[in-house]
Amino acid sequence: MIALHPAVAQNVATWDNQQAQNGQQSNGQALFYQPHETDANITPAQWNRIWQKTRENGFNTVIVQWTSYGDIDFGGKNGWLANSLKDARDQGLSLIMGLHMDPAYYNRLAEIDTAGTGAYLENQLGLSLKQANTIRQDWGISIAGWYVPLELDDWNFEQKARRNIINERLGGLASRLDMPLHVSAFSGGKLTPDAYAGWLGSLEKTGIHVWAQDGAGTRTLPAMARETYIKALPCDIGIVLEAFRQTSGKNDPFTAEPAKPDNGSVTCHPAAVFGLRYMAWGGELRQAMQMHATPDATARQNKSRP
């Protein structure tokens, strides 16, 4: 989970001013929102302004990264998250609703062998299906799609056998949902650009909408390599433009600061921006995180990538 470095106030202010001056018109029509426990401190009036600004700045869709994070349900059907998303819907924003996230996802994939991968993913995607049913039955929100927050990468899925397993499990989940399923992926350079593109393209052909992170925020790969991977992708793969720059070290809790997204490599692809917290009108979300985050909550949520 993303936390802002405490020493980035000046950079945040500079980026906010640039966004305000430029109108921060979106390069894509979708904006990712990653819920955090501290967002419970945002008032209904503040949420109303946040969603109004989101619409005014060219976005018409919000991709909610998750609505269940480990044992955290963000208040459930009557909680702050459900209420804020109802407000977003009232503001005319379409919602692609994130499902269940296991905070230990990356650690678990590193621990289990290929034989155990299928059972683990079956369990996790089963929890996502359960969450989808809960939202459909109890939340009373009209949605445009579902999003699985278990991100794909070519470290944990370098082996073809593992990629086949996740493809099969995602296809099974998609067949049981009533709206299109979305997933996202990132490259660590373990697969060739063509192999990575082929994998994501194979998912897209099954009707699963794939979003590839551009990697400009985490900078795991050099800029030239990132561009090569993006250019190899089929045009129907969406690109997630990362509007942040990582400030933390490799083994430290994730911290980042707002940064202008780089849309230079996006040509024919749909585009989305990550994320709401880093937009000029997301300043109240950043402040709430800085003021109210507890060490335990931060440690829990920082086990996830952005």
Reported as a single tens digit per residue, the pLDDT across 71-127 is: 999 999 999 999 999 999 999 999 999 999 999 999 999 999 999 999 999 999 999
* Contact status, residue 192 vs residue 157, Cβ threshold 8 Å: no
Is 207 inside any structural domain? yes
Is 306 inside any structural domain? no
Measured CA to CA in angstroms, residue 107 lies from 28, 186, 202, 259, 304 at distances of 32, 17, 26, 29, 10
Is 121 inside any structural domain? yes
Terminal CA-CA length for the chain: 6
Containing structural domain, residue 16: 3-301
Model pLDDT, residue 266? 79
Any idea what the CATH number is for the domain that residue 253 is in?
3.20.20.80
Residue 147 predicted with pLDDT over 90? yes
Is 266 inside any structural domain? yes
pLDDT-derived band at 169 (thresholds 50, 70, 90) equals: very high
> pTM higher than 0.85, yes or no?
yes
Is 85 inside any structural domain? yes
**How far apart are alpha carbons 263 and 230 in whole angstroms?**
11
Is 86 inside any structural domain? yes
Could you report the per-residue pLDDT of 31-64, keeping only the tens digit for each? Answer: 999 999 999 999 999 999 999 999 999 999 999 9
Is 224 inside any structural domain? yes
User: How many folded domains does the chain comprise?
Assistant: 1
**How far apart are alpha carbons 26 and 41 in whole angstroms?**
27
Model pLDDT, residue 114? 94
Residue 290 predicted with pLDDT over 80? yes
Mean pLDDT of 225-243: 96
pLDDT-derived band at 294 (thresholds 50, 70, 90) equals: low
Q: In terms of Cα–Cα distance, which of 293, 287, 284, 281 is closest to 25?
A: 281
Is 139 inside any structural domain? yes
